[in-house]
Amino acid sequence: MKTVFTNAVILIGAGNWRPIENGYIAIDGDRIMEIGSGPYLGAADSIHDMSGKLILPGLYNMHSHTPMSILRGVGTGLALQQWLFECMFPLEAKMNAEDMRIGCRLAIAEMLSGGVVSFSDMYHYPADYVQEIIDAGIKANVSFPIMEENPTGSQAHDSRFNLSVEFVRAFDESAGGRLKADFGIHAEYTNTPESMERYARVCQEMNGRMHLHLSETAAEHDRCKQRYGKTPARLFADLGVFENPTIAAHCVFAEPEDIELFREKGVSPIHNPSSNMKLGSGLMPIRAMLDAGVRLTIGTDSSASNNNQNLFEEIHLAAMIHCGFHRDATVIRAEELLDMATINGAIAQGRPDCGALKAGYKADLIAVDLRRPHLIPNHDTAALLVYSAQASDVVLTMVDGRIVYEDGRLLTIDCEKMAADADASLRRVFSVDVASAG
């Protein structure tokens, strides 16, 4: 099956954000065969005229907890600790497998319609919901994090440690490689050094990848230094965690030595601007990381602390806050943000043939309708994407050569059923009677 998109403006990505005008892109099966400009002269099973549209690599949402989408908007306006302990943990304890599936499906629906082709997820008992990922046709790296002070109290620690490793064994490289299973450490403050060290060793033995939270709040960062005499980054490094390819969410309070560690160990920090702003956590030292040559990525965090899965919004917000905080319009360039949201995510997820539009790469791409009033005129395509475009300007999302979203329609998700299922879940989770929560 050979599909060709013609007459498009094309952005290759991977550092190259200069538009190719009147471009074509030919796809065979799940891979890109050829990119060029001018008329396409080869054979094709299906030709899409993309006049007035921009094609670029699909986006990577590098940090989420997708099942929490059913908790969207709960506890808005509370500070992190109160929000976590008074709202999130009690409600999460009431969520069953079906609720997690619905939350994950809502998140995927939003991501695919907003141009996200792959995400990195971290949540309890993900084996219960990964079928949603397989069915929806999106890519994902999912982790079942170890967390000794598990607030749901529903599993003993050893069992959880083993379940986490079993999850990797069962699901890594499934669905034709679309689904990867990562190792996960919730955070240094919810685990003992001994178990983190042991877990990191297992990860290394299995050639795994690691997903964790790091220095999200000042309190957490400072408590770690008090407890261990070192920063969370240094602690993880000393425990051998960073011997594995690691993505580290937040890193708001990363110190210069931590940033040097990230560079040295190839750790990919994940910037979550909405979550960090909304919860009042603080501002990641993004410029220092970029200058140090650290591979920066970007994510939404969960819809409970964001409150959506809109990566265009994150890119825009990142551009805004760093210039605003530093009172310097030159702090970050549009092209750097687009790399963070595409190729850097692909590399950090262990997908070396994804994240850019190149011959031989996986056909993971999105199309943006440039004829919307707020995208006219287009003086600078990279700036247009970062400062003017909206997730809703995405009119086509393709993953592994398969169109999963087109012109407002999700082709792999039944949205009416999803809304009805969400209603049922909400009645369960938010029932006053805990006994009836299922």
Return the closest-CA partner of residue 180 out of 121, 123, 129: 121
Residue from 104, 321, 354, 399 in contact with a copy of itself (CB under 8 A): 321
> Residue 237: what residue type?
A
Residue 283 binds a copy of itself, judged by CB under 8 A:
yes
Residue from 131, 155, 174, 378 in contact with a copy of itself (CB under 8 A): 378
Tokens of 324: 């605003």
Residue 218 binds a copy of itself, judged by CB under 8 A:
yes
Residue 223 binds a copy of itself, judged by CB under 8 A:
no
Binding segment for a copy of itself (CB under 8 A), chosen from 28-36, 57-65, 233-241, 314-322, is: 314-322
Binding segment for a copy of itself (CB under 8 A), chosen from 33-41, 102-110, 133-141, 229-237, is: 102-110
Residue from 3, 195, 307, 344 in contact with a copy of itself (CB under 8 A): 307
Contact 238, 214 (CB under 8 A): no
Contacts (CB under 8 A) with a copy of itself, residues 39-78: 70-74, 76-78
Return the closest-CA partner of residue 104 out of 85, 124, 89, 77: 124
Residue 110 binds a copy of itself, judged by CB under 8 A:
yes
Nearer to a copy of itself (CB atom), residue 164 or residue 306? 306
Contact 403, 359 (CB under 8 A): no
Tokens of 422: 């969400």
Number of C-beta neighbours around residue 339 at 10 A: 25
Return the closest-CA partner of residue 56 out of 300, 338, 412: 338
Contacts (CB under 8 A) with a copy of itself, residues 156-195: none
Residue 432 binds a copy of itself, judged by CB under 8 A:
no
In the complex, minimum distance from the CB of residue 419 to a copy of itself, in angstroms, rounded to a whole number: 6
Beta bridge partners of 410: 405
Tokens of 115: 């141009």
Residue from 153, 374, 432, 435 in contact with a copy of itself (CB under 8 A): 374
Buried b (16+ CB within 10 A) or exposed e, 384-398: bbbeebebebbbbbb
Q: Is 258 helix (H, G, I), strand (E, B) or coil?
A: helix
Residue 438 binds a copy of itself, judged by CB under 8 A:
no
Residue from 143, 309, 342, 349 in contact with a copy of itself (CB under 8 A): 309
Q: What is the DSSP letter of 3?
A: E
Contacts (CB under 8 A) with a copy of itself, residues 393-412: 393
Residue from 225, 331, 406, 438 in contact with a copy of itself (CB under 8 A): 331
Nearer to a copy of itself (CB atom), residue 354 or residue 384? 384
Gap between the Cα atoms of 189 and 404, Å rounded: 39
Stated length of the chain: 438
Binding segment for a copy of itself (CB under 8 A), chosen from 59-67, 132-140, 194-202, 370-378, is: 370-378
Tokens of 313: 């919004």
Residue from 44, 277, 292, 437 in contact with a copy of itself (CB under 8 A): 277
